[in-house]
Amino acid sequence: MQLTKTEEQLMQYLWEKETAFMKDLIEAYPEPKPAATTIATLLKRMTDKNFVSYKLYGNSREYYALVGKTDYFSKHVNGLIKNFFNDSVSQFASFFTKETAMTEAQLEELKKIIDQEIKKKKP
């Protein structure tokens, strides 16, 4: 299951704060801030999708993420690779490096990261 763009935006704020009450989440938004009912609806949907949960303190709820940012985006990227690149990491890497206008320095940095991962995989 995935989050909508508006849910993802709210989730970004929750990941940054780790735990937050609704007022904290509303404060994280730039002006004009969304209505509390809008945030409440998003949080309810995200709770129903098992992305978010909360601790109850009287009438107040302290929300926290059930899914980590890295885990969420890893699944998202893997889904993109599967659905748009025929499950080919090579096709994805080719597209990523050619179509994102990376500078030579950025490509060198990416190469270093890949080389480090190759070293880790060697016995």
45 and 17 in a common domain: yes
Measured at the CA of 39, the angle between CA 36 and CA 41, to 5 degrees, comes to 110
Would you call 18 helix, strand, or coil by DSSP? coil
Query: Which of 65, 84, 113 is where one domain is finished?
Result: 65
Q: How much is the average pLDDT of 69-77?
A: 88
The pLDDT of residue 97? 84
pTM as predicted: 0.74
pLDDT digits (tens, 9 = 90+) for 14-62: 999 999 999 999 999 999 999 999 999 999 999 999 999 999 999 999 9
77 and 60 in a common domain: no
Domain range for 110 is 69-121
State the Cα–Cα distance between residues 110 and 98, nearest whole angstrom: 13
Tally of domains within the chain = 2
Q: Tell me, what amino acid is at 88?
A: S
Q: Residue 19 pairs with which residues in a beta bridge?
A: 64
State the Cα–Cα distance between residues 67 and 102, nearest whole angstrom: 30
Tell me, what CATH number does 48's domain have? 1.10.10.10
26 and 43 in a common domain: yes
Q: Tell me, what amino acid is at 44?
A: K
Q: Where are the beta strands (DSSP E) in 19-96?
A: 19-21, 52-57, 60-65
pLDDT digits (tens, 9 = 90+) for 78-90: 888 888 888 888 8
State the Cα–Cα distance between residues 99 and 101, nearest whole angstrom: 6
State the Cα–Cα distance between residues 23 and 13, nearest whole angstrom: 12
Q: Taking a C-beta distance cutoff of 8 angstroms, is the pair 34, 67 a contact? A: no
